[in-house]
Amino acid sequence: MVVETEQRLGTESPRGLVDVVADLGRIVDELVEVGGPAALDAQELAGAGAGAVADRLTSLSPAMRAAVHRLDVLRVSWLPRIEAHGLWATDGSRTFPAWLARREHVRFGTASRDVKAGRRLAAYLPATLAGALAGRVGPEQVRAMIDKAPTSDMRAEALAEEILVDLGVTELEVIGTGGPGGDDGSGEGAAGDGAGDGGVGDGGETKRKRRLLTGEELLLTHVDLNTPDGFRRIVDRFADQADPDADERGYRIAKEREHLELAQTLGGFHIKGFLTDEHGHALSAALGSVMGKPTPGDDRTPTQRRAQALADLARRRSTTAGRVPGRRSGRRSACWCRSARWTGWSSGRAAAEARVRVLGVAPGQDWLVLVLVLVLVLVLVLVAQLCPRPCGRVRPSTRSRPHWSGTAGTASCRGACSVGWPATAP
């Protein structure tokens, strides 16, 4: 029944969509059979030579990448229609990306990225979709347009706004129209004031072909003129000019949503929260560095390993936070976690609480701490001035006697103090 419906609807193709996809599967099987590792090894052993096989693969690899990219864009363009149909919600799925991830056996992040790409291509980027399906726009350029161009209402309006521009051969090829002297043959712009290439105006000046292009089509004219990184920078520049406050606005909104709840419950703690992209990537990288790869025999799930990595990261941080430079071992986490005064008077709330407990100084009255320190220094200076200052020598013995001088009853060493030791003859 489905095949018959597809064949009736497929008016532009002599065969239905289901038949073409089935043929595509058979073509892929044949391609794997003639181009797989076993087939290539057999060709090298048969006398074709490794160099000849590698040269052939070098020329075929770009065509293979372009074909795979076109098929992937075609698949993504189907997703908005599947989502709008609503049949996916009948199995109890809460979101369309969750249903797609379970249906196609991919990660939720991969499914979400595909759904977002399909939505933006269908709603805001029709020229990008047409160029990608025709093979004129590569995967990196499509990703740059999806990620940055339609990220706000003002940027979406700028993409759809029409601009009168002068076109060259490269621009006409990118947007998929005929070049100078192409099928239209008129050579006149949308405003009617231009002539074809090589035409001469009233003043004897050569006029170039002009046409109305949308902002999206104008961006696509730079695909063949720049590297993928250069094209992404152009798209970023367009987005910044179209809506300069969009990135800052999105960051502020994300910062306002950012929170982390840590609540103790029965048998453990419950964690719930939201992080910005920057903080989320930082936390993910830190957990990944601690987690590493699972060892043989480790049957824990990824979420269990991530929880253990978070605990290990917190324990490692608590152990190294109170470490004194130059010492081999730091203070135990049980000590500095329970008493803030063992943290070395670190800044923040812990330091304020330590001052309250030890000195009785409330937060905001740090000047009292300075006064107490000054008074303590003055007291130490006065005590040092009133007490006699020893010269640092011990009582002379018979083995080693320093040079002594003085009368009987008292003896003074040649220093800054006098000691009431009995004088002995040298």
For 26, phi then psi, to 5°, come to: -70, -35
Per-residue pLDDT at 228 = 93
Per-residue pLDDT at 254 = 67
pLDDT tens string, the chain, 426 residues long: the values are 444 444 444 445 578 899 999 999 999 999 999 999 988 888 888 877 778 888 889 999 999 999 999 999 999 999 999 999 989 989 888 899 999 999 999 999 999 999 999 999 999 999 999 999 999 999 999 999 999 889 888 899 999 998 887 765 444 444 444 443 444 444 443 344 443 444 444 444 445 577 888 999 999 999 999 999 999 999 999 988 888 877 666 666 666 778 888 888 888 888 888 887 778 888 888 888 888 888 888 888 888 888 888 888 888 877 765 555 555 544 444 433 433 333 443 445 555 555 555 555 555 566 777 888 888 888 888 888 786 655 545 454 444 444 444 444 444 444 444 444 444 444
Q: Which residues, including other chains, have CB under 8 Å from residue 305's CB and lie 6 or more apart? A: 291, 294, 298
- As given in the structure block, the two tokens for residue 87 are 């049949």
User: How many Cβ atoms from other residues are within 10 Å of residue 140's Cβ?
Assistant: 15
- State in Å, rounded, how far the first CA of the chain is from the last one: 126
d(CA 143, CA 146): 5
User: How many Cβ atoms from other residues are within 10 Å of residue 27's Cβ?
Assistant: 10
d(CA 422, CA 406): 10
**Is the C-alpha dihedral spanning 131, 134, 137, 142 positive or negative?**
positive
Per-residue pLDDT at 69 = 96
Per-residue pLDDT at 206 = 46
Per-residue pLDDT at 367 = 72
CA proximity to 136, closest of 194, 204, 223, 199: 223
Q: Which residues, including other chains, have CB under 8 Å from residue 238's CB and lie 6 or more apart? A: 149, 155, 158, 215, 219
Per-position DSSP letters for 241-281, written without gaps between them:
HH-TTHHHHHHHHHHHH-EEEEEEETTEEEEEEE--HHHHH
Query: How does DSSP classify residue 404?
Result: -
Per-residue pLDDT at 344 = 41
Tally the residues of the chain. Answer: 426
Per-position DSSP letters for 207-243, written without gaps between them:
---EEEEEHHHHHHTTTTTS-HHHHHHHHHHHHHHH-
- As given in the structure block, the two tokens for residue 204 are 């004897």
d(CA 91, CA 100): 12
β-pair partners for 166: 210
Whether this model's pTM surpasses 0.85: no
Strands of 57-209 (E only): list them.
162-166
Per-residue pLDDT at 290 = 85
Helices (H), 135-204: 139-148, 153-160, 169-175
Residue 151 carries which side chain, given as an amino acid letter?
Answer: T
d(CA 2, CA 11): 15
- The enclosing H or E element of 114 equals helix 108-123
d(CA 187, CA 196): 4
The angle at the Cα of 118, spanning 117 to 124, to the nearest 5 degrees, equals: 85
**Is the C-alpha dihedral spanning 215, 220, 222, 228 positive or negative?**
positive
